[in-house]
Structure 1
Amino acid sequence: MNKKFLTMGCISSLSLAMYSGCSDSTSDLYNPANPFGEVNEESSSSVANAGAGDEIVVSSDSESATSSATATSSASLNLSSSATIAPNSSATIAPNSSATLASSSSNGTKPSTNSSSSATPTIQSSSSTTSQQVNENTGNRPVITYAASGATATNAGNCVTVTGGTVTIKCGGEYDFSGNYSGNDAQILVNTAKTDSSVYLNMRGLTLSNTADAPIYIQKASKAFVVAKNGTTNTLSDGSTRTKTYNYTNDNGEAKTDTTGACIYAKDDLTIKGEGTLVVKGNYNNGIHTSNDLKVKNGLITVNAKNNGLKGKSSVEISGGTINITTTEGDGIKSDTEDAADLASGKGSIEITGGEITITSAFDGITAANAVTVANGESTSPTIKVTAGGGHSCLSDPTSNTGSTGGRGGMGGFPGMGGSSCSPTESMKGIKGDSSITISAGIIDINSRDDGLHSSGNITVSGGTITIATDDDGVHAEKALYVKDNANISVTLAYEGMESPDMHFEGGITSVITTDDGWNAAGGTSTTTTGGNTGRGGPGGFGGGFGPGSGSTGKLTVTGGYHYIYVGTGDTDGVDSNGDITISGGVIIVECRMNGGMGGMVDSDGTTNISSNAKLLGFGTNNSEEGTQYSVSFNTNNYYGTSSIAFKPSFSGNKMVSSVGQPSAISSVSGMTKTCFGNSTDRCVYTK
């Protein structure tokens, strides 16, 4: 007798009953004759060419288990080129027929299948005493339909238990759901072994409202997928309170007690996908939550949640989809593991590489305990719009104030001192990454009560187009800020435009309009106190504050890029550092309307070095502490500068700073290169 060998590394003796494939993809039809999913082409050829009497030996690389089937002339086991094990038109795989399929576990004990050819066979795993039926009723995957009386299931075998409106999934595989049901038992509960295959919950027009709990609860699974099928609308809502607790044993034999904390609530990895529509209403707490990794692939997804919209405690990855999130008491997208080992391994992070995301959040729009990354995906670039904390509401546009008094006083600040930030005590930031924020692509629009971009570590922007309006800092990094390459950042309104103790402008195009400092290199610690206006006014404070005793230090370096800074009236600085300033390249335009205090267009508490290789033009209404200053009267009708740089100011004054020699009115900018800042068509610099 000839032998054909088939290696199948993805076979587990615990997952024979409902195994629908080794990959994460879904098919439209569940094939019970292919419980093992994909196989390699070499194995496919060997089985397909097996003749009568050939013994086909199936071996598992991972568990050293073997299964054998004998093909006879009346019942053969065929494997097509698409890697599907299916009986031919005249064959039926049954324990009592001439074609048998037996599986042995790693301990050598072979599970038995005792049924007639017309009955549904039962496969017994040697590692479990629970029988599981293979779904062979019609050849289709299990179908669960909800109606007013509850749920009914077909093709379910022993993998599905239905009690009223509660459907319990006990095997890996694909399951179709449709219908409409509301009640305190309206729930899909998944409890499968982690060694089993992935579970796919295919939504094919389902409205499920649980009045007391979560409509979807992934208690235990290898991986779970919620799939909104194309052309369907699926709506899930949960109860506003919780009284029920769940007691179960995990795969480690540990007793667990759990209460669902979201409308879609998962304890293991969860993926949301599909080309249909998914509407999630989280009335109790979060909208979609997993204690592990959350992925969103595609689909039209709307989440309305009391607390957080999307939460993956270990991580969140979004690569596509049109996602609309609204929260009334929480954050938009969140990853917040506190485990030190997880954080060290990169968990607690959010990565966005695609999709159109709109967030209206009560608090932070996007927040991660570790890193936030926004980058290009394989074929798309993400679009993100965030309104956090209701958006900015208390700062006035400094460009509209043409008087001589100071900026808005804020919460206790004094007119004439630049005003203080009026941001709230709660965190209502646009994007927050505790360890870092890295942005290399995408279109990002942030309107926030608190900082637009905020990190307790570093912020690096090398690409993308970012627009920020806020009542506090536009961009704030507590360790270092890097702007380079193709970054395009426009802060249309902020208390301070960009702030970090270590600032590096290496390229890109930036624009900031602020009521206080434009760039502020501050926040680092120093063993000695320094002079200058280094303090920062808090609630009831003195706006820009007074420097002596602050102990803050900073460093600012510019080597390239095009940068525009506009600061309002009061004790305001355009470019400010509590340490050194080094400008060796790039193009910088500063419009500073300071009319009180110290500082001006350029202010440094350390050493200031401005190279002639850099093109710096400053326009002011008061003296500048640093830079080469000229007494040049300017107005809004003419361009001013030199033969290498020219700019038309937005207000009138009589003080200018220039790194390229004596500035004057320029009669023509013909032949010069025009670069505009932000979305402006009139705030543009001309250079040669």
Structure 2
Amino acid sequence: MAVLLAAALLSLAGCAAGDPAASSAAGASGVDASTSANAGGPSEAALSSDALAINLEAMDFDYSDCDKDASYDAAAATRVALAGDAASVEGAGASAEGSVITVTAAGTYVVSGELADGQIVVDAASEDKVQLVLDGARIHNADGPAIYVRKADKVFVTLAADSANALTDGADYVLDQDDEPNATLFSHDDLTINGTGSLEVTSAYRHAVCSKDDLVVTGGALSVSAAEDGLRGRDCVKIADGTFAITAGEDAVKSSNDEDGSRGFTCIDGGTFDITAGDDAVHAESVLRVTGGSVDVATCNEGLEAEQVQVSGGEVSIVANDDGVNAAARDTVTGGADNAPGVSEGSCLLQISGGRLEVASAGDALDSNGDLAITGGAVILHVPANPDDTVVDCDGSISLAGGTVTQVAADGTETQLTQELMGQMGAGGGMGGMGKGGPSGMGGEGDKALRGPGAAPEAPAKAPDFAAVDRDSLEGVG
């Protein structure tokens, strides 16, 4: 038994040694000398413009070798067998008491079977890395998370090849503190989902998957249904690959840290997404990057939203009931004063340098409360019928130095937009805030004059993949 445990620990120790996060903690965590004394995040009264200012250099956009490596030693792993209202453990590092399985040590744990009303709890040392391999596991917990990570350095939820897994909860939780836990798969520490199997996560209470630190996904087929947020990471959400079907009552994908300019970012670097959201499809408090993948948003309030939105690759199609893409300052305060903005609107940026973006929205298609810069890619914007909204609303400067921007009228007529035309649309735009309730930007007389059919472009950029959009589902969309 000791040999098996040693082998399992060796496997994870090797993973830890190869994890860039372990060797560059400052870059990965975004904590520097000025903030390390407040590792849990500064209090609201202590927030300053320096702390809130976006710090791209301190953001860790990379994936560690361990994030991407879904392999494990099945022979050396501890086995957890679920059986209705009970469970059994074969191996070291975990124990079962009734329908609750508790993991207390680093290692690999292979979980299979079905639990009618129970939970897996990870309560290990703060330096322990734990790998939970779901291999045909179905877990329901009527009053809390199906998987609850109380403490660890990092937990890897690996979806075994050819396996189908499911996690579900009830509508009422027994809470520990601070209204937590609040998700079907909940972690206080870094959480990575990898592998090639499938995972269905259903949340009747609040969120489906939530990490209070980093949430990373590098593989798997995830089907997510959430009363509130689908995939939520406080410090960041990074997605390298996988397939995702997400239905969320609020945000589908979200990073929520609004107290540190080096955190609160979301990266879509790959994967295939089908999203239905009650609020934002993809949200970040600081930076939202789309560098690859395919994102299809069937309906949402706003599609992509962050203080800075950067699209450099991938294919994104959005049907939105408000703005399609919105660069807006975080809802933060300085000095605790009510309604005092913590970040200036001038820090907002919507930047498109590649990929393909198509938007059909009831509000503004592209809305930046700061600057708008397009240097590449193909952008297709359907004209909103609402006279107070435009395809482009920008409160700062507008730059079109590359790529194509095509306006599509209600009758299908296309117009290639120039920087001058976009400037006329964006001039005099009002501020649209982050989240619900902010007033939409209002264009001047110049943009209203551009709402007619317009001349057909020399090289139309009609989007064949967007032909199936149900435009009747949007109020006020032309």
Do both share a fold (TM > 0.5)? Answer: yes
Paired residue for 2:463? 679
**Per-residue deviation at 1:386?**
1.3
Cα deviation digits, residues 305-343 of structure 1 (max 9, x gap)? 000000001100000000111013x1110111122xx22
1:521 to 394, 416, 426: 426
Distance in 2 (alpha carbons) for counterparts of 1:545 and 1:153: 64
Contact 1:277 1:299 survives alignment (8 Å): yes
- 447, 461, 466: which one pairs with 2:319? 447
1:207 corresponds to? 138
What corresponds to 2:392 in structure 1?
498
How far is 1:447 from its partner?
A: 0.3
> How far off its partner does 1:245 sit?
2.5
1:474 to 2:464 alignment? no
Over 3 Å counting, the alpha-carbon distance change for 1:20 and 1:324 in structure 2 is: farther
Q: Which amino acid aligns with 1:213?
A: G
- Match of residue 534 from structure 1: none
Aligned to 1:300: 221
Distance (whole Å) between structure 1 residues aligned to residue 88 and residue 354 of structure 2: 52
Aligned counterparts, 1:283-298, within 5 A = 283-298=204-219
Q: How does 1:355-370 map to 2 (within 5 A)?
A: 355-370=271-286
1:675 positional shift: 2.0
CA shift for structure 1 position 242: 1.2
Question: Match for residue 332 of structure 1?
Answer: 252
1:142 maps to what in 2?
78
Retained in 2: the 8 A contact 1:144–1:175?
yes
> Aligned residue for 1:313?
234
Q: Deviations over 1:432-451 (max 9, x none)?
A: 01x20111100101000011
Structure 1's unaligned 5+ residue stretches are 1-14, 26-35, 39-60, 62-137, 247-256, 376-380, 390-427, 526-538, 548-566, 575-590, 594-618, 620-646, 650-673, 681-688
Q: Distance in 2 between matches of 1:146 and 1:479?
A: 53
8 Å CA contact retained: 1:223, 1:269: yes
SS at match of 2:251: coil
- Indicate how the Cα distance of structure 1 residues 522 and 37 shifts in structure 2: closer, same or farther if over 3 A, else same: closer
1:182 aligns with 2:116: yes
Paired residue total: 364
Q: Which residue type is aligned with residue 312 of structure 1? A: G
- Summarize the Cα distance change of 1:149–1:436 in structure 2 as closer, same or farther, 3 Å threshold: closer
The verdict on how the C-alpha distance between 1:150 and 1:472 changes in structure 2, with shifts beyond 3 A counting, is same
Could you say if the C-alpha distance between residues 448 and 544 of structure 1 is closer, same or farther in structure 2, counting changes exceeding 3 Å? closer
Which structure would you say has the larger Rg? Answer: 1
**TM-score normalised by length of structure 1:** 0.50
Q: Are the counterparts in 1 of residues 7 and 76 from structure 2 also a CA contact under 8 Å?
A: no
List aligned pairs for 1:73-472, cutoff 5 A. Answer: 140-156=76-92, 159-183=93-117, 186-196=118-128, 198-245=129-176, 259-328=180-249, 330-339=250-259, 342-343=260-261, 345=262, 347-375=263-291, 381-389=292-300, 428-433=301-306, 435-456=307-328, 457-472=348-363
Q: Which amino acid aligns with 1:180?
A: E
Superposition map of 1:582-601 within 5 A: 592=452
Provide the rounded CA distance (Å) in 1 between the counterparts of 2:237 and 2:265. 7
The CA distance in 1 between the partners of 2:147 and 2:312, in whole Å, is 36
Q: CA deviation at 1:148?
A: 2.2
Residues 444 and 466, structure 1, Cα contact 8 Å, conserved in 2: yes
Distance 1:454 1:182, change over 3 A: same
TM-score, normalised via structure 2 length? 0.70
Q: Aligned with 1:21: secondary structure?
A: helix
Shift in Å, 1:678:
2.9
What is the aligned partner in structure 2 of residue 511 from structure 1? Answer: 406
Change (3 A) 1:454 1:147: same
**Cα shift readout 1:470-523 (whole Å, capped 9, x = no counterpart):** 0011101111101113x10001232311111311111111112358x9732334
Following the alignment from structure 1 to structure 2, what is the Cα–Cα distance between the partners of residues 279 and 260?
A: 19
CA distance in 2, matches of 1:512, 1:348: 32
> Aligned in 2, Cα 1:545/1:262: closer, same or farther, shift over 3 Å?
closer
Contact 1:337 1:348 in 2 (8 A): yes
> Contact between 1:493 and 1:514, CA under 8 Å: does it hold in 2?
yes
Distance in 2 (CA, whole Å) between partners of 1:356 and 1:276 is: 15
521 and 492 in structure 1: CA distance in 2 versus 1, 3 angstrom threshold: closer
Rate the CA distance shift 1:320–1:149 in 2: closer, same or farther, 3 A.
Answer: same
Aligned to 1:489: 379
* Structure that is richer in helix per residue: 2
Aligned to 2:62: none
* Structure 1 residue 260: Cα displacement: 1.3
